[in-house]
Structure 1
Amino acid sequence: MTLKDILVHVDGSHHCRARLEAAAHLATRHEARLTGLFVRTAPHVPQFVMSQLGPEVAQAQRQFANEGAATARALFEDVMAGFTIANEFRAPEGELMDMLVLHARYSDLVVVGQYDRHDDNMAEERDAADHVIMDSGRPVLVIPYAGHHNTIGETVMVAWNASREATRTVSDALPILRLAKEVRVLAVNPRRNGVNGHGDIPGADIAAHLARHGVNATAEHVVARDVDAGNMLLSRASDEGVDLLVMGAYGRSRLRELVLGGATWHILHHMTVPVLMGH
């Protein structure tokens, strides 16, 4: 598979320009078409309230959504002016999560922003990454809200736990991994036996598989029972100058991770580098 269609979510957040620039650089690297998606949403107002307030409320809501779309289009076109890639802007009307998932299914990769609870313009996006990861069937690249990340995919860390989710994500990431200068497969606290076991040398089999696909991959495993996988991955990514982390998402139920914590939840809330996730 190659990356020919990349979808990027456009919103009114303070981090949107950096997200668009990161997506545009990635599209340039892969000679892909970049589609910007802004969803025109309207706050839900009960019908009995609408009947009392009159049609002016609906008109004001529609005008607000249209103004947001116009601002988003201007930003998208301004960023695209600095690149020579095929691009398109879309502004459908509907529920944010539904529209993101729907349009994601017709792309090779979806780019969304990490949720920032301090940015009021992202109030509706608390679970956006989760929904696209779980429901679209497409790999999702999450861009941190802090910093600029215009170089993505030169030094890559693959978080390998031998699960179905990790297997799917590594396969989806192959177009990026093939172009990487260095790929490091890291297994944290690996189990050696069972359906999710790693074998005698954790990470060796997936590294060999990647090598057969033209990926320059090396494997390593660490055992640190007192450190959770999420913290370990982010720490190693920072220490080793990684510009992309590839990992499967929600190997156990999302509700269980929300209650008990887990690597996916930790990464989404504390990420410092772009993360490619799949389920």
Structure 2
Amino acid sequence: MTCKTILAILQSEADTPRLLDFALPLTARHQGHLIGLHAEALPIAVATPLGGAMVDLTEEMRAEAEDRHARLRALFMERTQAEGIAAEWRGYDNVSGDSAISGIESARTADLVIAQQNDPDADARMTADVEALVFESGRPVLLVPYTFKGRSAPFKRVILAWNGSKEAARAAFDALPFMQEAGSVEVLMVDPQDFPHQDTGLAGSAIATALARHGIDVTTRTEISGDLSHGEVIINRLADTGADLLVMGAYGRSRVSEFIFGGTTRTLLQSMTAPTLMAR
């Protein structure tokens, strides 16, 4: 299995080189086609206290947006051509100026979406609604930590956060290309529960067996959270193992309740320590 159509969400000039350092080698490994996508906010005419529109300011904002489009497109095409990657550019102008939201439609016809985790210290204009991309696109989203440095390489050790949900199942099989190139995969369960057809002692064994049939070296591990959240347990396990990819379903009672009460998905989005593939 390979990822032939890959969509890269490029929200800002500052983050684009980092994201391309990750996306280009991955695309090359899969002999894929890379789509670069960026959106700019449409300038909105505002009125002066005297009631006249500030036309000069609006035109200045429009010119700046066009310049950013041009610079990002030039950088993207230069990098892809230099590395021999088949590529195309998609630029959008809309009210939000959010490249992640603008990329949802394009994401639905891609094998994989790559986006950057938002830097909590960045200006709001430099961030994208990656949660909407994960929850609404219907495609696997590979999130790159904003602290990522260097070029991506084949993953060596993968952790699959498994709870038996449909979201976790989708993430697991969407991540097969990366699990197959990895040296090992650990199926991690946190506080597994007994079910009529399976007790906690066998939790994760079925998905581990299914992955092993793809030639993957799989182990299982169970953790008890105690006073920690599930997200914190997963982050600790990533640190303990040195895993370079986390695979998990983006799940929760609802996006609204996760916003209010927190949740594993939100914890990982905010405290990402390794590239993370999420699927919904």
2:110 is the counterpart of 1:112? no
1:201-244 alpha-carbon deviations (Å, 9 max, x no partner): 12111100111223222111112322211111111112211111
8 Å contact from structure 1 (residues 154, 179) kept in 2:
yes
- What is aligned with 1:212? 213
Of 80-89 and 14-23, deviating more is 80-89
The residue correspondences of 1:1-279 to structure 2 (distance < 5 A) are 2-45=2-45, 52-53=52-53, 55-94=55-94, 95=96, 96=98, 97-120=100-123, 122-123=124-125, 125-126=127-128, 128-148=129-149, 150-151=152-153, 153-193=155-195, 200-279=201-280
SS in 1 for 2:202: coil
Q: How many residues align?
A: 275
Change (3 A) 1:268 1:235: same
> CA separation in 1, counterparts of 2:133 and 2:122?
20
> CA separation in 1, counterparts of 2:148 and 2:112?
21
8 Å contact from structure 2 (residues 208, 220) kept in 1:
yes
8 Å contact from structure 1 (residues 13, 119) kept in 2:
no
SS in 1 for 2:227: coil
8 Å contact from structure 2 (residues 101, 133) kept in 1:
no
Change (3 A) 1:221 1:116: same
> CA separation in 2, counterparts of 1:55 and 1:213?
61
> CA separation in 2, counterparts of 1:12 and 1:155?
30
1:181 is displaced (CA, Å) by: 1.6
1:163 is displaced (CA, Å) by: 0.9
1:154 is displaced (CA, Å) by: 2.5
SS in 2 for 1:267: helix
Task: Report the residue type matching 2:83 in the other structure.
Answer: F
TM-score, structure 1 as length reference: 0.89
1:118 is displaced (CA, Å) by: 1.7
8 Å contact from structure 1 (residues 190, 221) kept in 2:
yes
> CA separation in 2, counterparts of 1:13 and 1:227?
37
> CA separation in 2, counterparts of 1:118 and 1:233?
24
1:66 is displaced (CA, Å) by: 0.8
SS in 2 for 1:39: strand
Equivalent pairs: percent with the same residue? Answer: 35
1:198 is displaced (CA, Å) by: 6.5
Of 64-73 and 150-159, deviating more is 150-159
1:61 is displaced (CA, Å) by: 2.9
Change (3 A) 1:255 1:199: same
SS in 2 for 1:247: strand
> CA separation in 1, counterparts of 2:244 and 2:43?
37
1:56-105 alpha-carbon deviations (Å, 9 max, x no partner): 44433321211111121232234324422211222122242542111111
1:240-267 alpha-carbon deviations (Å, 9 max, x no partner): 1111100001232122112111111111
1:108-149 alpha-carbon deviations (Å, 9 max, x no partner): 1111111113222x53635x1100111111100111101326
TM-score, structure 2 as length reference: 0.89
Change (3 A) 1:207 1:13: same
> CA separation in 1, counterparts of 2:83 and 2:207?
36
> CA separation in 1, counterparts of 2:199 and 2:254?
22
8 Å contact from structure 2 (residues 43, 62) kept in 1:
no
Change (3 A) 1:30 1:198: farther
1:164 is displaced (CA, Å) by: 1.3
8 Å contact from structure 2 (residues 45, 53) kept in 1:
no
Query: Please, which runs of 5 or more residues in structure 2 have no aligned partner?
Result: none
Task: Report the residue type matching 1:162 in the other structure.
Answer: G
